Amino acid sequence: NQVTTLNAATNISGTGSNYTTETQSVLISYFGRLNYSYDGKYLLSASVRTDGSSRFGADTRYGTFPAVSLGWRISQENFLKNVTPITDLKLRASLGYAGNNSIGDYSSIPTLGIYNYSFGGNAGVLATGQAPNKVANSLLKWEKNRTFDYGIDLSLFNSRIYISADYYTKTSKDLLLNTPVPTASGFGNNLVNIGEVQNQGWELALNTRNLEGALSWTNSFNLSHNENKVVHLAPGDARIEVAASTDTPHSILQVGLPMYSIFVVRQDGILSQADIDGGAARYGSETAGDPKYVDANGDGKIDANDRQVVAQPNPKYTWGITNTFRYKGFDFSFMVQGQNGGAIYSLLGRAIDRTSVSYLENALGRERDRWYSADNPGDGIKGKATGSFGFIKNTDWLYSSDYYRVRFITLGYDLGRLVPKKIAQGVRVYVTGENLFGRDSYYGGLNPDAVNTSNNSTYVSGVDYGGLPLSKNLILGLNLTF
């Protein structure tokens, strides 16, 4: 029982790489719910749950999260019962709390790391051993989310039209952030509950039965809008620059701004000789034909201090629409989905669509419109092929994340009418195509909806390091019901 892992039968010495990475955690939960309805008009639902997690401090392991919702079915009131167009009308409101324990298994206690230490002497031999690698925090506790939601559900004309609308405000408090501690402690930072983020927005859903009979047509549409902002960081931290795996950080957490706002130097066309003669601010040894950047701080030179917030990665609107048609055993459906109002910062684009890409390397076709000479300046956006400067992070690698895609198209036929019920209750054959069509303006990568990160274990930011494209699939299927 004392041997918890074999680790490929290697010697677990606690030094080098021969040690176990197995972790253990415990979660215990209690849950209760009450539902009440009076006369079918007045609705109440209440719940409470208590969760205990071994990932938090000994005195803060348990969190209690209540929720309550109220509903009023107005359509059952006497003053609306005889309003024929209204099938159902309900107002609702809710308040709920939820917790998050998605952190490391031993975040509240000091764990040991492997370090080298020199005891001096002419030989300079390093001794390998173990030492605490973080500060203990017995007060570490659950992250908490509080959500207010107000909504309305409306059905019209015998439910041929259904509308649902919601407005919500979600506040996430006690978020875990690494805050700096005095280096004399032997550590660089400490994990504490101190961050706060707010999301608010609305959601709209519309379902319709447009045609009924031999030919039927139904439609589903949804649209949502969300605004996100940082409310609070650690004391003294007005801004946290999210460290990147390459060069200067390009996204930030800043109070009052959306999470992971894109923070880079803004490009403003191409440098001309007249700009240089006029004393324009330059990055390094730029010459005519190189990008011209905005000197945000006015110090006469371009460097990392000229970075500014240029965009935010979260789309303002997401939407989708599904249509389904049925006629004499045939069914045909398709869904289109998309988003608008966001941006994506591509470090893959830095390689394939960067300013001053070498003419010896592969490049996108849009490089044909680059700067060639003062007499042939191109489109005024792309710089010359061989530049004389570094690669400061700038808006040249910033792209719109707007897109729409036909997520699926399905054509099916019900063979059940041709097959005796003794053999099968239902038989349907279908063919489906997924992600066959779409449009976006993301030249710096393969998928504007890419979900990958900055390789930063502390903060996750919306940056594309080369996300895979969506696969196009063609599926032939058969449904049998017995």
The CATH number for 441's domain is 2.40.170
Residue 17 lies in a domain: no
pLDDT at 375 over 80: yes
Residues of the chain above pLDDT 70, percent = 88
Helix count and strand count (H, E) for the chain = 3, 24
Q: Which of 88-97, 100-109, 266-275, 344-353 has the highest mean pLDDT?
A: 88-97
Q: Which of 288-292, 322-326, 350-354, 473-477 has the lowest mean pLDDT?
A: 350-354
pLDDT classification of 70: cutoffs 50, 70, 90: very high
> Measured between alpha carbons, how far is 251 from 244 in angstroms, rounded to an integer?
8
Residue 19 lies in a domain: no
More confident residue, 321 or 23: 321
Q: How far is CA 374 from CA 77, 274, 332, 370, in A?
A: 76, 10, 57, 12
Q: According to the model, what pLDDT value does residue 68 have?
A: 98
Residue 269 lies in a domain: yes
Q: Read off φ and ψ for residue 418, nearest 5 degrees.
A: -100, -10
Q: What pTM does this model have?
A: 0.83
Q: According to the model, what pLDDT value does residue 388 have?
A: 57
Which residue in the block uniquely carries the two structure tokens 């009052």? 256
Residue 249 lies in a domain: yes
> Measured between alpha carbons, how far is 446 from 440 in angstroms, rounded to an integer?
10
Q: According to the model, what pLDDT value does residue 132 have?
A: 83
Backbone dihedral region for residue 433 (phi beyond 0: left; psi -120 to 50: alpha; all else: beta): beta
Number of domains in the chain: 1
Alpha helices in 199-309 (DSSP H): 273-277
Q: According to the model, what pLDDT value does residue 377 have?
A: 86
Residue 197 lies in a domain: yes
* Chain-centroid distance, C-alpha 38: 41
Q: According to the model, what pLDDT value does residue 15 have?
A: 53
pLDDT at 263 over 70: yes
Which residue in the block uniquely carries the two structure tokens 């779409």? 438
pLDDT classification of 332: cutoffs 50, 70, 90: very high
Residue 87 lies in a domain: yes
pLDDT classification of 177: cutoffs 50, 70, 90: confident
Q: Which domain does 268 fall in, by range?
A: 29-104+137-481
Which residue in the block uniquely carries the two structure tokens 């605004």? 227
> Measured between alpha carbons, how far is 277 from 451 in angstroms, rounded to an integer?
44
Under 8 Å between Cβ of 468 and 446: yes
Supply angle C-alpha 61, 64, 65, rounded to 5. Answer: 135
Residue 433 lies in a domain: yes
In one letter, which amino acid is 205? A
Residue 10 lies in a domain: no
Structure-token pair, residue 139: 């007060």
Model pLDDT for residues 121-157, shown as the tens digit of each residue: 666 677 777 888 888 888 889 999 999 999 999 999 9
